[in-house]
Chain A
Amino acid sequence: GAGVSQSPSNKVTEKGKDVELRCDPISGHTALYWYRQSLGQGLEFLIYFQGNSAPDKSGLPSDRFSAERTGGSVSTLTIQRTQQEDSAVYLCASSSWGSPKAFFGQGTRLTVV
């Protein structure tokens, strides 16, 4: 695709429900990143994929968070039993092999009520 695509753009969910956030990276980009931006806080690294494997998942805040990537392309970030503190904008980025320049999607705004 022309850019990184994220869906949905907005998601309102009830506390305790599970949510799935989707990221479609730029075609051919092998690296994929998930970040979170909470109100009043800086962007926070969550997880990094190289191909389908995740060499760095150190930023996932709890075991309620998981992510996978299939076919070296689409990635899904799943949050189980959502809590109000999970409310944030979740940003996905991708980059090509050997290049540190990352291209960001427009994010998914998650609101847990």
Chain B
Amino acid sequence: KQEVTQIPAALSVPEGENLVLNCSFTDSAIYNLQWFRQDPGKGLTSLLLIQSSQREQTSGRLNASLDKSSGRSTLYIAASQPGDSATYLCAVMGGNNRKLIWGLGTSLAVNP
């Protein structure tokens, strides 16, 4: 059974810091791994999607890496801003189905 773990559960940093969020999964037979952002009262926003054959994806100040063999992904946020404050969720899609298995998220606060 696939299990997804995110560390840390919460993070508070001053504006401008570079930071790393971690995600690990127990079954390496994944189709893809996705990072989402969740803001209070709003839906989920897809940030980055890494196919199982890929090693990383970049979008602006965000970079996500995937090491499928070790069951790990990291989300790197450069030069953090207060607007980055949100919960960041990691989810993996299995090889045999289309459902996403989710971590509990990392709650990020970027302080001005």
Interface residues of chain A, those whose CB is within 8 Å of chain B, are 4, 31, 33, 35, 41-45, 48, 50, 56, 59, 91, 93, 100-107
Cβ of B34: which chain A residues have Cβ within 8 Å of it? 100-102
Q: How many A-B residue pairs have CB under 8 A?
A: 56
Q: Interface on B for A, CB 8 Å cutoff?
A: 4, 31-32, 34, 36, 41-46, 49, 51, 89, 91, 93, 97-105
Which of B41, B43, B97 contacts A56, CB < 8 Å?
B97
Beyond A41-B104, A59-B99, whether A107 also contacts B49 by CB under 8 A is: no
A101 touches which one: B46, B102, B104 (CB < 8 A)?
B46
Cβ–Cβ contact B43 & A106, under 8 A:
yes
- Chain A positions within 8 Å of B41 at CB level: 106
**Chain B nearest CB, measured from A50 CB (Å):** 8
